[in-house]
Amino acid sequence: MALLSRYGFLAIAVVFHVVYFLSIFDIYFVSPIVGGMRLFPPKGSAHAEAPADRLVLFVGDGLRADKAFQWFPEPYPQNADDLDPRPLAPFLRSRVLHHGTFGVSHTRVPTESRPGHVALIAGLYEDVSAVATGWKLNPVNFDSVFNRSRHTWSWGSPDILPMFQQGAVPGRVDAFTYGHEFEDFSQDPLELDYWVFNNIKDFFAEATRNETLNAALRQDKLVFFLHLLGIDTSGHAYRPYSKEYLNNIKVVDKGIQEITKLMEDFYGDGRTAFVFTADHGMSDWGSHGDGHPDNTRTPLVAWGSGVAAPVLQRGSVAAGHDEYSLEWKMDEVQRHDVAQADIAALMAYLIGTEFPANSVGELPLAYVSSDLRDKAEASLVNARQILEMYCVKEELKKSKEIRFRPYGPLSGENNTAERRLSDIRTLIDTASFEEAIEESAALVKTALEGMRYFQTYDWLFLRTLITVGYLGWMAYALTGIINIYVLGGEERPSRTLSGVTFFSAMLAMLYASFIISKAPLTYYAYAFFPVIFWEEVYARRHSIAIGRRILFGHVTSGSSIASILVSTTAYLGIVFSLAAGYVHRELLTLLYLLAIFWPLSYGTSFIKKNILVATIWALSCLSMSIFTLLPANKVENIDLIMAGGVLMLVIGVAYLALEDRILTSWSGECHGAIKPVGLPMSRALTGAQVGLVLLSVVVTRSSSLSLQAKQGVPRGNLVVGWAVLVISLLMPLAHRLQPNNHYMHRLMVMFLTCAPTFVILTISYEGLFYVAFSMLLVVWVNLEHKIYIFGRSKGDQVNDRVANKRQTLSGLQACRPLSLADARVALFFFVLLQSAFFSTGNVASVSSFSLESVYRLMPLFDPFWQGLLLVIKLMIPFTLISANLGILNKRLGVAPSALFMVVMAVSDLLTLYFFWVVRDEGSWLEIGSTISHFAIASLLCVFLALLEGVSAMFIAGVEVDNGMKQGGSLANVRVGRTGRLDVGEVAFSP
């Protein structure tokens, strides 16, 4: 095999998976923003004015609905009475019981600050890719309630306010923000909210002295926005059930009470409306982002001018309540739930502005106190605004389609939009207000379904195209594996004129349709890959036939066929059980328990000969089976952190003390000069790595205790922590000064390189997992090698004609061809790959990996660098896998990329499955989970290709015990074009 073929294959794998990962954003999550809509002014009865002159919007960032309304003991009790449960937000509770309307606002994924605020204030749900711009200025300008207002003043976070200021008419939105240095997770988050409340108090105090400001504040259509980040920060740092989080709710409630009184005293006209809500909730482990109900259910309380009074049902449970809200002790007050985008429509209506241009919110009439005529007029305007978006999308799609298929419910002579609007106007003019409201609501739903129709217009075609592409990739990968690693790359493609013509015509037809429909450039890539893949598979049909004869030539009897069928079924069963494992982590526990008995399948003679390795394997599998039974939602546990760190330290010290004995005993009969002893510089560097582990344990304990005491992270700890992290990761470069090429030494260097990082960035049992996982990998490599040698000695490998011979692959050292048994090795690797990700994390979303640990290195809020630190931690187990697989490749004598390529071909079975189950409708938990599952499965395939490069660097120059010495030479095999095996002898020194 030429080197170009090997690395070219990996490059194609990366490009293909990256491009096809983007497909979900062209299929499921296309941006809903379009332009060119007309705006419709609000209408009411002839004498009516806007329900309110001004509106105050309070957003308690990261506040869950249940925590806002539940009863708790005093977070910081002073006496026995404080232990009795009570509402932590008594002022908001008084608004619910006596002054306004309340409910639960249901958000969509991603449950992040940016998309949450966009839904609240602009009334539109950004596509899920908006999570990538969660803390950035808006890449696409969108209309908002702030932009519709006469003027908006806002106070709060510099990560939220500017995107609404810069996206509005210049000068219309004023934003007052604190500095980024305030967003320090090691400090008291209450200061963030105190800053907001104090600054708005100062603002109105200034208005009493500044006539210009006072005059501006006396106008109508004004909005005041208070972004309160303290609750979110408390939740991230201490979790939503902590006393810090609960106390922050009290502070926010008290601040809202003070601002409400300030506004009422300043204006004294009763023309102010108030809305309190949150952008998203928070999980029990202090994170958000996915579709878990704790992240998607937020409180909504509205009161003041234009807001309906509470609907009470004394002595019974009012409408709208369920088990979730019964414990709030407000079940006599009717609960009115809304979609988050509905809040934008409510705010626009209250101050009498046009609805934002891209708003899909439905005006929640239960929250407004207007009469039926005004409600009917407002409903009609709401319907006209949403219908306008439908019409723009219809025209846009019609202009691009060759054979346009209109949306049925809004097409035809009697169902046109104009006809239905005219019918509603007639109902209003004839005082049939309730019927008009019902018809407007029905028209809104129809228009939204129509927009959904155009949003999914190309789904069937694109999903089919992507499916054919994934199947083509798997077929192409397997064909390439057979051609390169079984046949030696000597079988040339066999193309025919008819075949080339057919595939060229298919590509030309697809591209022509894309040109006519003005499709995005990504569509061309989606079509290019399946055509190219399937053309290559067709051209290599002879290679497939020869490979089948080589790999399955021994399958001739009925029993052998049955054995292959059973093995294949079990193989696929394990692969798809991993898909179920994304939801039920316990399945990984079951797989590990079954793996304990794997060595027994080779008979008692193998067990007797390798009893020590088999025993260690069983203990390693048993220990790994525990982690997926432990809670994924972890809280900081310094004792477990220290236990993991000390265990790493003990292993390092033991290796230093026994290095010569360990390397000598693991050298075996390796052909070539291994130098297990006599490398003082290498030993000194290893000792330095052990010292770094010790230092990481000490500084992590100190930093954690300091953070728990709310004293922040001492500057010295930050310096030492960063120094340990960086130096430890650079230590492999220092080992090049006097390299020890023994593979066990290389593995120990890798273990000690990553150990300090895992100590510093762990919050619970992850360090213990790191030790157990590292041990399992080393034992796996040794056990696979012994099984391979055992099979050769018995002469009963699955493919005897291949296993006992070697072939010279062009451009590489002598390597044996792949056999069917190697598919099992690849399966084990794939299971370990999944375990590396899910053994310590929640399968629903990466958001479950708590940011709490990164505060020890970066207490200031910086999502990019904090996320990068977290990714480094997540990547460490994968790095260990790649290193061990590289060693295993050499010990089994296969080409470096061979097993990686087998796994890449097999793993896309999961990717394709998760692609088809991605949902953008249904419960937010289902939506968020399916997105996360596809992303993880798809990007793991990309990461596999990158890991191959890591593995290649790691094993460069490494010396292993292949255990297959045959008089100083090894059998070499070259597979000719006819499929015959030409046997020769070459010296082998891996």
Cα 588 to chain centroid, rounded = 20
**Alpha helical stretches, state H, 149-218:** 161-166, 190-207, 211-217
Task: Tell whether the model's pLDDT for residue 843 goes beyond 60.
Answer: no
pLDDT grade for 971, boundaries at 50, 70 and 90 = very low
Angle between helices 680-708 and 743-760 (to 10 degrees): 20
DSSP letter at 857 equals T
Q: What long-range pairs does 731-738 form, CB within 8 A, spacing at least 24?
A: 731/685, 731/688, 731/689, 731/692, 734/685, 735/682, 735/685, 737/681, 737/685, 738/679, 738/680, 738/681, 738/682, 738/685
Q: Give pLDDT, residue 705.
A: 87
Once rounded to an integer, what is the mean pLDDT over residues 253-270?
97
Maximum distance among all Cα pairs of the chain, rounded to whole angstroms: 105
CB contact at 8 A, 317 and 330: no
Q: Give pLDDT, residue 809.
A: 43
Task: Tell whether the model's pLDDT for residue 812 goes beyond 60.
Answer: no
Q: Which of 32, 923, 922 is nearest to 450 (CA)?
A: 32
Beta-carbon count within 10 A of 191 CB: 14
CB contact at 8 A, 216 and 146: no
- The residue with greater pLDDT, 839 or 316, is 316
pTM of the shown model:
0.73
Q: Hey, what are 634's tokens?
A: 């972890």
- Only one residue has tokens 């051609």, namely 483
Q: Which residues contact 529 (CB under 8 A, 6 or more apart)?
A: 16, 19, 20, 469, 472, 473
Instruction: Say how far apart CA 898 and CA 483 lie, in whole Å.
Output: 11
The residue type of 335 is R
Instruction: Say how far apart CA 311 and CA 368 lie, in whole Å.
Output: 12
The residue type of 98 is H
Of 457-466, 622-631, 744-753, 815-824, give the lowest mean pLDDT range.
815-824
Instruction: Say how far apart CA 173 and CA 141 lie, in whole Å.
Output: 14
Once rounded to an integer, what is the mean pLDDT over residues 619-634?
86
Encode pLDDT of 722-757 as tens digits: 999 999 989 888 887 777 778 888 889 889 999 999
Phi, psi for 60 (deg, rounded to 5): -85, 90
Of 52-61, 173-182, 862-871, 968-977, give the lowest mean pLDDT range.
968-977
Q: Give pLDDT, residue 222.
A: 98
Instruction: Say how far apart CA 161 and CA 144 lie, in whole Å.
Output: 13
Measure CA of the first residue to CA of the last residue in the chain; give whole Å: 17
Encode pLDDT of 791-800 as tens digits: 776 654 444 4
- Only one residue has tokens 């060759």, namely 402
- The residue with greater pLDDT, 693 or 939, is 693
Encode pLDDT of 371-411 as tens digits: 999 999 999 999 999 999 999 999 988 888 878 889 999 98
Task: Tell whether the model's pLDDT for residue 844 goes beyond 50.
Answer: no
Phi, psi for 972 (deg, rounded to 5): -115, 140
Q: Give pLDDT, residue 42.
A: 79
Instruction: Say how far apart CA 120 and CA 111 lie, in whole Å.
Output: 12
Once rounded to an integer, what is the mean pLDDT over residues 228-240?
91
Q: Give pLDDT, residue 220.
A: 94
Q: Give pLDDT, residue 965.
A: 45
Q: Give pLDDT, residue 376.
A: 94
> Burial of 228 by CB count in 10 Å (0-12 exposed, 13-18 middle, 19+ buried)?
buried
Once rounded to an integer, what is the mean pLDDT over residues 16-40?
82
Q: Give pLDDT, residue 846.
A: 43
Q: Hey, what are 535's tokens?
A: 């053309």
- The residue with greater pLDDT, 818 or 665, is 818
Encode pLDDT of 468-494 as tens digits: 999 999 999 899 888 888 887 667 888
Instruction: Say how far apart CA 346 and CA 25 lie, in whole Å.
Output: 30
- The residue with greater pLDDT, 26 or 461, is 461
The residue type of 559 is S
Q: Give pLDDT, residue 902.
A: 85
Phi, psi for 817 (deg, rounded to 5): -70, 160
Q: Give pLDDT, residue 980.
A: 34
- The residue with greater pLDDT, 945 or 511, is 511
- The residue with greater pLDDT, 322 or 833, is 322
Phi, psi for 537 (deg, rounded to 5): -60, -45
pLDDT grade for 848, boundaries at 50, 70 and 90 = very low
Encode pLDDT of 121-173 as tens digits: 999 987 655 545 544 565 557 899 999 999 999 999 998 999 898 878 999 99
Of 90-99, 370-379, 715-724, 906-915, give the lowest mean pLDDT range.
906-915
pLDDT grade for 922, boundaries at 50, 70 and 90 = low
CB contact at 8 A, 110 and 281: no
Q: Give pLDDT, residue 810.
A: 43
Q: Hey, what are 704's tokens?
A: 């954690």
Of 648-662, 776-790, 834-848, give the lowest mean pLDDT range.
834-848
Q: Give pLDDT, residue 128.
A: 57
Task: Tell whether the model's pLDDT for residue 856 goes beyond 60.
Answer: yes
- Looking at every residue in the chain, the average pLDDT score rounds to 84
CB contact at 8 A, 767 and 640: yes
Instruction: Say how far apart CA 957 and CA 960 lie, in whole Å.
Output: 10
- The residue with greater pLDDT, 543 or 228, is 228
Q: Hey, what are 172's tokens?
A: 């219309």
In the chain, the domains with their CATH numbers are 53-369 (3.40.720.10), 384-456 (no CATH), 458-512+525-555 (no CATH), 587-667+679-793+816-955 (no CATH)
CB contact at 8 A, 732 and 749: yes
Tell whether omega for the bond before 406 is within 30 degrees of 0, i.e. cis: no
The number of C-alpha atoms within 13 Å of 723 and in the hemisphere containing its C-beta is 10
Instruction: Say how far apart CA 674 and CA 672 lie, in whole Å.
Output: 6
Q: Hey, what are 861's tokens?
A: 């809020």
Q: Which residues contact 398 (CB under 8 A, 6 or more apart)?
A: 404, 406
Task: Tell whether the model's pLDDT for residue 979 goes beyond 60.
Answer: no
Instruction: Say how far apart CA 442 and CA 420 lie, in whole Å.
Output: 10
- CA separation (Å) from 336 to 106, 151, 302, 320, 709? 11, 29, 11, 6, 41
Instruction: Say how far apart CA 312 and CA 415 lie, in whole Å.
Output: 40
Give SS3 for 367: helix
CB contact at 8 A, 290 and 932: yes
CB contact at 8 A, 576 and 913: yes
pLDDT grade for 442, boundaries at 50, 70 and 90 = very high
Characterize the bridge pairing of strands 173-177 and 272-277.
unpaired
Query: What does the angle CA 756 – CA 762 – CA 768 come to, to the nearest 5 degrees?
Result: 80
Q: Give pLDDT, residue 372.
A: 93
- CA separation (Å) from 559 to 555, 565, 778, 796, 871? 9, 10, 35, 16, 48
CB contact at 8 A, 237 and 185: yes
Q: Which residues contact 491 (CB under 8 A, 6 or more apart)?
A: 483, 540, 542, 543, 546, 977
Once rounded to an integer, what is the mean pLDDT over residues 75-80?
92
Instruction: Say how far apart CA 101 and CA 120 lie, in whole Å.
Output: 17
CB contact at 8 A, 487 and 534: no
Task: Tell whether the model's pLDDT for residue 21 goes beyond 70.
Answer: yes
What length does the chain have? 990
DSSP run (H or E) holding 105: strand 100-106
Once rounded to an integer, what is the mean pLDDT over residues 589-610?
90
Most confident of 162-166, 542-546, 595-599, 932-936: 595-599
Beta-carbon count within 10 A of 657 CB: 10
Phi, psi for 94 (deg, rounded to 5): -65, -35
pLDDT grade for 845, boundaries at 50, 70 and 90 = very low
Q: Hey, what are 789's tokens?
A: 């040698």
Q: Give pLDDT, residue 315.
A: 84
CB contact at 8 A, 307 and 100: yes
Instruction: Say how far apart CA 988 and CA 970 lie, in whole Å.
Output: 6
Q: Give pLDDT, residue 281.
A: 95
